[in-house]
Amino acid sequence: MTASLERLLTHQRVLLIQGKMGSFFSRFASFLHTQGIEVSKINLNAGDAFFYRHRERVYNYTGTLADFDAYLVDLLRHQAIGAVVCFGDCRPHHALAGAVCRRLGTAFFVFEEGYLRPDYVTLQQDGINGYSQLDLRVIKQLQKANDKPLPTHNRFYKLCLSAIVYYIVARAKQDEFPHYMHYRGMTAWQEGMTWLKAPLRKVYHYLPDKRLQRRLHEHLAQRYFLVSLQVYNDSQITFHSDYADITVFIEQVMTSFAQHAPHALHLVFKHHPLDRAHRHYGALIAMLADNLGIKGRVHYGCDMHLPTLIRDSLGMVTINSTTGLQSIYHNRPTKVMGRAIYDVPQLTDPQPLDGFWQNPMPPDQDFYQRFREYLIEQTQLNGSFYGDSPWMGRYLANQATKNQAASVQSELAQTTTKQSFRQSVLQTSGSQPVTTQTTSVPLASPSVQPSDSAKSV
294 Cβ neighbours under 8 A, 6+ residues apart? 254, 257, 258, 267
* Mean pLDDT, range 393-413, rounded to an integer: 76
Sign of CA dihedral 151, 384, 274, 47: positive
185 vs 348 pLDDT, higher one:
348
Task: Give the number of other CB atoms < 10 A from CB of residue 50.
Answer: 18
Q: Are the CB atoms for 13 and 25 separated by under 8 Å?
A: no
Q: Are the CB atoms for 172 and 192 separated by under 8 Å?
A: no
Calculate the alpha carbon distances from 395 to 32, 34, 291, 308, 377 in Å: 11, 11, 56, 33, 14
- Residue 384's Cα: distance from chain center in Å? 8
* Mean pLDDT, range 395-420, rounded to an integer: 70
pLDDT score recorded for residue 225: 99
pLDDT score recorded for residue 365: 95
* Mean pLDDT, range 306-322, rounded to an integer: 98
* Mean pLDDT, range 27-43, rounded to an integer: 98
pLDDT score recorded for residue 241: 96
* Mean pLDDT, range 406-435, rounded to an integer: 57
Q: What is the pLDDT of residues 248-286, one digit of tens each?
A: 999 999 999 999 999 999 999 999 998 988 899 999 999
| Selection from 319, 184, 356, 300 nearest residue 243 by Cα | 319
Q: What is the pLDDT of residues 345-383, one digit of tens each?
A: 999 999 999 999 999 999 999 999 999 999 999 999 999
pLDDT score recorded for residue 136: 78
Q: What is the pLDDT of residues 150-178, one digit of tens each?
A: 999 988 889 889 988 999 999 999 999 99
Letter for the amino acid at 406? Answer: A
333 vs 194 pLDDT, higher one:
333
Whole-number Å distance between alpha carbons of 361 and 106: 42
pLDDT score recorded for residue 436: 37
- Mean pLDDT for all residues in the chain: 88
pLDDT score recorded for residue 254: 99
DSSP string, 387-427: S--HHHHHHHHHHHHHHHHHHHHHHHHHHHHHHHHHHHHHH
pLDDT score recorded for residue 147: 63
Percent of the chain whose pLDDT exceeds 70: 85
- Residue 420's Cα: distance from chain center in Å? 54
pLDDT score recorded for residue 181: 86
Whole-number Å distance between alpha carbons of 351 and 259: 16
pLDDT score recorded for residue 194: 75
pLDDT score recorded for residue 199: 81
Calculate the alpha carbon distances from 240 to 129, 243, 348 in Å: 8, 9, 17
- Residue 25's Cα: distance from chain center in Å? 13
pLDDT score recorded for residue 445: 36
Task: Give the number of other CB atoms < 10 A from CB of residue 64.
Answer: 12
Sign of CA dihedral 244, 333, 120, 2: negative
Q: What's the pLDDT band for 59 if we cut at 50, 70, 90?
A: very high
Domains within the chain, CATH numbers bracketed: 3-176+385-397 (3.40.50.1980), 215-376 (3.40.50)
pLDDT score recorded for residue 429: 55
pLDDT score recorded for residue 416: 55
Q: Is pLDDT above 60 for 454? A: no
pLDDT score recorded for residue 364: 96
Calculate the alpha carbon distances from 52 to 16, 57, 134, 389, 431 in Å: 10, 12, 31, 17, 68
125 vs 404 pLDDT, higher one:
125
